[in-house]
Structure 1
């Protein structure tokens, strides 16, 4: 992309895979940041806030990235049931409980994305509605025990078994549920590079 260096500020194998599928050349650089946010922040702003913190932390760690020739991409995904953010499960019991609450219901997956290039910033959130079929306790336990979804917001990954058998429908970007609305990211990259 015209000699621009693209940095993915995420360890997520799914985000890495999606950028590879889009045939975008990039490097991965990460800096650990607390995934915290102000308690009164509106829910749709939370993943953008966390993504911005990730991008800034990487830029500060790697001072050479703070030039107009580099673009840092950071993202954060949250699962929202009602108006409650459901994070990553703490343990097996928490994962079982989360999936029991999602089963038979509609929830939202919101991914916040921040791109930094010099002093420029593009930030947005993409929302996908997801409806689960009712799931039996046995199905939920099978998924949790086999797939160990402890690093995933909402305790599931749409591209795994539970997505194949448990999801009734989605409205919005499938890849957003995987962790990155990649078509919007490509558009944003194009706008920054032109």
Structure 2
């Protein structure tokens, strides 16, 4: 078990607090609206679904959502939510998406690109692209005073944050933020029809798989 997996397993009960930050509410409304439009009427494979926040956003509009995550602890929280729509769950590592049954129009990964080492990001996108006709990514921008401070930088340019949980445990977590053009460069691994949109606290990117 790596530190990131252990961190999210132990954070499961407090994860959604990040969506309650007052300064981010306008951004979240805009981001939710954009995501709903992208999945309307479509079959969605959600990667790293966590506690199901984005599952619940997509479910009323999507034809179906299969929410996947490696951590049973976060999926347990997700399963307790109330959903309007066809939602199912499966515990699976993102590295094993090829083992997931079914066909999908959209592969959605919320707040996971930032946890992928820069050297592996294009391969991560290729893995998503093998499972759907469109890849949709959403993640954080770094905003001083709202984001957790970056506490170290690795030799490959990966950045890390030190995160402390309510139980007092502390983890150094890989958390990358996009530099100009690098998300688009990653998405070119699977297609050329690319959209990248920056909000104040978040970004959204899509690519049609070719």
TM-score under structure 1 length normalisation? 0.32
Decide which structure has greater helix share. 1
TM-score under structure 2 length normalisation? 0.31
Larger Rg: 1
